């Protein structure tokens, strides 16, 4: 055996999900290795849609500016049925949401997170494959096959499998992966076209037969570059991969298939049938055949080993939910692992990863299957609700064992996403801030709204109950006296100058909000009693000296 290297966490798989897990661990100072069996990053634009919720998380990390400069906006979609234009879908969100929808090829997403990870001295170990692992009460022993052909045994405290639909980690844990496959096959291609569709809009063109069923489809998502789109369409019989899937080792028909790649002539034939206007495809960068399955594991982990992303759930690409859901899996798990590595987490914190994220995965799988069969326009909810859900802004964790009961009342409750707001002003900066400016690159934050005595005691309780791991900020109402507490408090103080915080959080009296590293409310305390705050933090953080 080669030399053994100890690390806190071993991440298997260097797609967007694995890279996010590794980056979030390293950003928190956790030692981490990330391995991938492929010798190089794949040049495919598989997942291209970036949801507003993912951009919010990248803001928390400090890399959103790089993404925004590389991506293109997704403003909406033109829909055609049998050549007849239908009402246009415009992707519009409430003004307090800081980011819109975007499109970015997966290889660019991976490059950006990979370079961010490199700032912390960690690089992907390419051509390195997990062969097997075993876990015990104290850690995990993993066996790796390295590019030199040698085997290496690695001892790690935790193992995270982000290794896709055919996950070795999932199989090693013996997790079930129930579901099925769609019979249809699709072509994917990254091409240039010369039509004049407005910038930032996609195209979805369907043909329905005499029975009303869809028998031909073209979906085009804009990519960076003039006239560039990632196109998907049904596969002609000569490119079918059915036999290849039947012969595969695990029978999971999902993702890119290794068969004859579609050529420009195949793409052009579909455009000639379904394009909303005459156009010519050119400059093909890559193409492939794609199969779709829908599956989800029965558990997201077992003791010291976890799965995330496609290793945990696969489903139709409808609404660009998959990669974004996986990235949010990784975020949820990483901040909890960082506390567990330092023995600062209560025993139930890691278990809450499954409790919080598996219901999300189940909902996404079910919804994308329905939308793939019936169309998103068949969703019975109000259009505003559908839009927020597709943006992943309605994902929440009410009922989680590590958030307080939601209780009654207006505004966001424990387990809900903490909404952004504008118009926070300080003593020095000559410009107003957003709430997310205060959250950026922070971990747990205790946000105290209102005036009155007891702020220092609450701050002291937060520090004592978390081992100093909770920061504190004060937000004063717009009509609070101009001096007084704001000048005397040793805590950072901001004023809700526009009243947006009070409106969006339905805060009309002194209230304490505990905001988690992933931007969700862990607690909402009215009145903000130190005992209630200590009880909440005691469910998350281990007491000093507690193993």
Q: Write out pLDDT tens, residues 40-80.
A: 988 877 889 999 999 999 999 999 999 999 999 999 999 99
What local confidence, expressed as pLDDT, does residue 2 receive? Answer: 47
Torsion of CA 110, 115, 118, 124, to 10 degrees: 30
pLDDT band at 315 (very low <50, low <70, confident <90, very high): confident
Cα(142)–Cα(10) distance, integer angstroms:
9
Beta bridge partners of 391: none
Mean pLDDT of 288-292: 85
Question: DSSP assignment, residue 300?
Answer: S
CB of 456 closer than 8 Å to CB of 430: no
Alpha helix positions (H), 375-529: 383-390, 435-439, 455-466, 485-488, 500-504
Mean pLDDT of 191-203: 94
> Around Cβ 533, how many Cβ atoms within 10 Å?
23
CB of 1 closer than 8 Å to CB of 22: no
> Around Cβ 138, how many Cβ atoms within 10 Å?
8
With 70 as the cut, is the pLDDT of residue 518 above it?
yes
Cα(109)–Cα(16) distance, integer angstroms:
7
With 60 as the cut, is the pLDDT of residue 244 above it?
no
Q: Which of 292, 314, 320 is nearest to 185 (CA)?
A: 292
Q: What is the pLDDT of residues 464-501, one digit of tens each?
A: 999 999 999 999 999 888 764 444 568 899 999 999 99
Mean pLDDT of 253-266: 70
What local confidence, expressed as pLDDT, does residue 236 receive? Answer: 83
With 50 as the cut, is the pLDDT of residue 432 above it?
yes
DSSP 186-249: EEEEEEEE---PPTTEEEEEEEE-TTS-EEEEEEEEE-SSTTEEEEEEEPPGGG--HHHHHTSS
Higher pLDDT, 453 or 33: 33
Helix (H) or strand (E) holding 58: helix 52-61
Q: Is 320 exposed, middle or buried (0-12, 13-18, 19+ CB in 10 A)?
A: buried
Please give the distance of CA 411 from its chain centroid, rounded to a whole number.
24
CB of 342 closer than 8 Å to CB of 524: no
Kindly list the strands in the beta sheet with 102-103, ordered across the sheet, starting from the edge strand earlier in the chain. Answer: 49-50, 102-103, 72-73
Per the confidence metrics, is the pTM higher than 0.75? yes
For residue 428, CA distances in Å to 283, 388, 424, 437, 540 come to 52, 35, 12, 15, 34
CB of 311 closer than 8 Å to CB of 169: yes
Residue 422 Ramachandran class (φ > 0 left, ψ -120 to 50 alpha, else beta): beta
CB of 42 closer than 8 Å to CB of 14: no
What local confidence, expressed as pLDDT, does residue 241 receive? Answer: 64
Q: Measured in Å, how far apart are the chain's first and last C-alpha atoms?
A: 33
Mean pLDDT of 316-323: 86
Residue 261 DSSP SS3:
coil
Summary mean pLDDT of the chain:
90
Mean pLDDT of 360-385: 85
Q: Which are the contacts of 246, defined by CB distance < 8 A and separation ≥ 6?
A: none
| The dihedral sign for the CA sequence 133, 170, 108, 9 | negative
What local confidence, expressed as pLDDT, does residue 221 receive? Answer: 94
Q: Which of 377, 389, 77, 368 is nearest to 218 (CA)?
A: 77
Cα(471)–Cα(463) distance, integer angstroms:
8
Among all chains, which residue has been given the structure tokens 């424990």? Answer: 414
Strand 32-36 vs strand 125-126: parallel, antiparallel, or unpaired?
Answer: parallel
Cα(391)–Cα(93) distance, integer angstroms:
9
What local confidence, expressed as pLDDT, does residue 184 receive? Answer: 77
With 50 as the cut, is the pLDDT of residue 95 above it?
yes
Cα(185)–Cα(179) distance, integer angstroms:
17
Cis omega (within 30 of 0) for bond into 527: yes
CB of 507 closer than 8 Å to CB of 499: no
Share of the chain above pLDDT 70, in %: 93
Cα(543)–Cα(344) distance, integer angstroms:
7
What local confidence, expressed as pLDDT, does residue 483 receive? Answer: 60
Cα(22)–Cα(30) distance, integer angstroms:
9
pLDDT band at 251 (very low <50, low <70, confident <90, very high): low
Mean pLDDT of 84-89: 92
pLDDT band at 429 (very low <50, low <70, confident <90, very high): confident
What local confidence, expressed as pLDDT, does residue 237 receive? Answer: 78
Q: What is the pLDDT of residues 166-193, one digit of tens each?
A: 999 999 999 999 888 887 788 899 999 9
pLDDT-wise least confident of 53-57, 119-123, 149-153, 514-518? 149-153
Q: What is the largest CA-CA distance in the chain?
A: 77
Q: Which of 170, 50, 52 is nearest to 110 (CA)?
A: 50
Q: Which of 243, 238, 227 is nearest to 266 (CA)?
A: 238
pLDDT band at 247 (very low <50, low <70, confident <90, very high): very low
Structure tokens at 502: 């009070």
Mean pLDDT of 217-245: 83
pLDDT band at 246 (very low <50, low <70, confident <90, very high): very low
Mean pLDDT of 530-544: 92
What does the radius of gyration of the chain's CA atoms come to, in whole angstroms? 25
């Amino acid at each position: 055996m080669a030399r053994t290297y100890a690390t806190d966490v071993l991440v298997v798989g260097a797609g967007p999900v694995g890279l996010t897990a590794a980056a979030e661990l390293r950003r928190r100072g956790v030692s981490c290795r990330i391995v991938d069996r492929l010798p190089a990053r794949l040049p495919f634009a598989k997942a291209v849609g970036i949801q507003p919720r993912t951009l919010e998380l990248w803001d928390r990390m400090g890399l959103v500016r790089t993404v925004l400069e590389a991506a293109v906006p997704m403003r909406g979609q033109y829909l055609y049925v049998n050549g007849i234009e239908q009402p246009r879908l415009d992707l519009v969100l409430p003004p307090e949401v800081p980011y819109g929808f975007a499109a970015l090829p997966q290889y660019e997403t991976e490059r950006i997170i990979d370079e961010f990870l490199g700032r912390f001295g960690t690089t992907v170990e390419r051509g390195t494959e997990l062969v097997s692992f075993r876990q015990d009460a104290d850690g995990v022993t993993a066996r790796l096959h390295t590019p030199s052909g040698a085997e290496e045994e690695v001892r790690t405290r935790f193992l995270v499998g982000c290794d896709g639909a055919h996950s070795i980690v999932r199989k090693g844990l013996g997790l079930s992966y129930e579901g099925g496959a769609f019979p249809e096959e699709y072509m994917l291609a990254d091409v240039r076209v010369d039509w004049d569709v407005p910038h930032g809009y996609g195209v979805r063109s369907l043909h329905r037969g005499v029975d009303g069923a869809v028998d031909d489809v073209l979906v085009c998502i804009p990519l960076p570059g003039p006239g560039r789109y990632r196109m998907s369409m049904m596969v002609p019989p000569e490119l079918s991969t059915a036999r290849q899937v039947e012969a595969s080792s695990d029978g999971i028909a999902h993702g890119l298939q290794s068969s004859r790649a579609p050529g420009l002539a195949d793409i052009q034939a579909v455009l000639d049938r379904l394009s909303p206007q005459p156009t010519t495809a050119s400059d093909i960068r890559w193409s492939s055949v794609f199969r779709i399955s829908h599956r989800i594991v029965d558990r997201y982990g077992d003791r010291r080993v976890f799965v995330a992303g496609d290793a945990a759930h696969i489903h139709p690409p409808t609404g660009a939910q998959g990669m974004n859901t996986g990235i949010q899996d990784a975020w949820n798990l990483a901040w909890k692992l960082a506390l567990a590595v330092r023995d600062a987490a209560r025993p139930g914190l890691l278990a809450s990863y499954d409790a919080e994220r598996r219901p999300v995965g189940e909902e996404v799988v079910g919804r994308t299957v329905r939308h793939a069969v019936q169309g998103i326009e068949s969703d019975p909810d109000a259009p505003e609700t559908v839009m927020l859900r597709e943006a992943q802004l309605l994902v929440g964790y009410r009922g989680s064992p590590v958030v307080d009961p939601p209780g009654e009342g207006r505004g966001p409750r424990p387990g809900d996403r903490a909404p952004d707001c504008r118009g926070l002003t300080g003593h020095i900066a000559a410009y107003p801030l957003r709430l997310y400016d205060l959250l950026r690159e922070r971990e747990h934050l205790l946000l105290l709204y209102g005036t009155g005595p007891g702020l220092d005691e609450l701050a002291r309780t937060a520090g004592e109950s978390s081992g100093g791991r909770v920061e504190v900020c004060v937000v004063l109402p717009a009509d609070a006296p101009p001096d007084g507490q704001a000048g005397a408090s040793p805590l950072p103080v901001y004023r809700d100058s526009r009243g947006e915080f009070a409106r969006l959080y339905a805060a009309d009296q002194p209230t304490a909000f505990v905001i988690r590293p992933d931007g969700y409310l862990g607690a909402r305390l009215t009145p903000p009693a130190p005992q209630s705050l200590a009880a909440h933090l005691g469910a998350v953080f281990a007491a000093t000296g507690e193993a």
